Amino acid sequence: MPGAPGAVPLYMRLAEQIINDAHRIGGEASGLRRIPAERVLAASFGVTRQTLRRALEHLRARGLVHTDRSGTYTYTGHRVPTRPAAGARPPLLFPVGATFDGLDVRSHARLSFEPVPPPVEALLGLAPERPTLVHRHGLTLLSGETVQEAVSYFSPTALAHVPRLSRRVRKLRGRPSRSEPDLRHLYLWMAESGLQPVRRDRVRVDRSGCERMWLAVRQFVHDQFDRPLEITDLRVDPRRGELDYAFVLPS
């Protein structure tokens, strides 16, 4: 893919070709399409892997592809979402919480398969004491002080219809140890599976602690058929961060 002096750089032209090929192969089907491995792409385009990696980084920076442990993906079909302009806030990631501008926070998370509190069982349509996928996520300052904590519970509908979640359940069944998860693209996975997540929040002030007061939020996520998908109980230190209620469907 050589070009004349002053032309668009090779890696940018390569990036555009990667996206165009994914959309052409994907046709009218909207969702995510996995991009072939680096060595395969580099050989097919006749470029070095260094050039290919630069093209992929160019696409990641613009929100056109995302990478997780299972590979690199791009959107396909006629419902490709609008991409954020330069300097805009990045796409919505799970779990949805507060922003802590100017603070250096560390993220930690755990995934388990366990029963949930009875009130949550009823909301998710779970039988009594039936286990489900539970995601715990926290943000702490460098001092160790917690500024946000979230516990998310998944419904049978979500586990049955989102393959990436059901695979995690199979790995966790019967294992006492907990895994370190990467569920950042949960809402994209839901859309990829034909679900349209819609969220509503219930906000209150949590005064249960003697020393601190928290802003407590219960987030309900349903699909287009009003079936529950996920519930997250979120607590935020209101002195440190602020909530952003923008929610954009990822499909």
Q: Going residue by residue through the chain (251 aa), what tens digit of pLDDT does each one get?
A: 555 444 578 888 898 888 888 777 654 444 567 888 888 999 999 999 999 988 888 887 666 777 776 778 776 543 333 344 444 445 567 888 888 888 888 888 999 899 999 999 999 999 999 999 999 999 998 888 899 999 999 999 999 999 889 888 888 876 655 566 788 889 888 888 888 888 888 998 887 765 778 999 999 999 888 899 999 999 999 888 887 666 555 44
Predicted pLDDT of residue 149: 94
Question: What is residue 48's predicted lDDT score, i.e. its pLDDT?
Answer: 92
Could you give all domains of the chain from N- to C-terminal order, each with its CATH number? Answer: 10-76 (1.10.10.10), 98-243 (3.40.1410.10)
The pLDDT, as a whole number, for residue 28 is 44
> What is the end-to-end Cα distance of the chain in Å, rounded?
32
H helices of the chain, in order, are 10-26, 38-45, 49-61, 118-124, 156-161, 163-172, 186-192
pTM of this prediction exceeds 0.75: no
What is the C-alpha separation between 247 and 251, in angstroms, rounded? 12
pLDDT at residue 175, rounded to an integer: 66
pLDDT at 80: 38
pLDDT value for 91: 58
E-state strands within the chain: 31-34, 65-68, 71-76, 98-99, 105-114, 132-141, 146-154, 198-206, 214-222, 228-236, 242-243
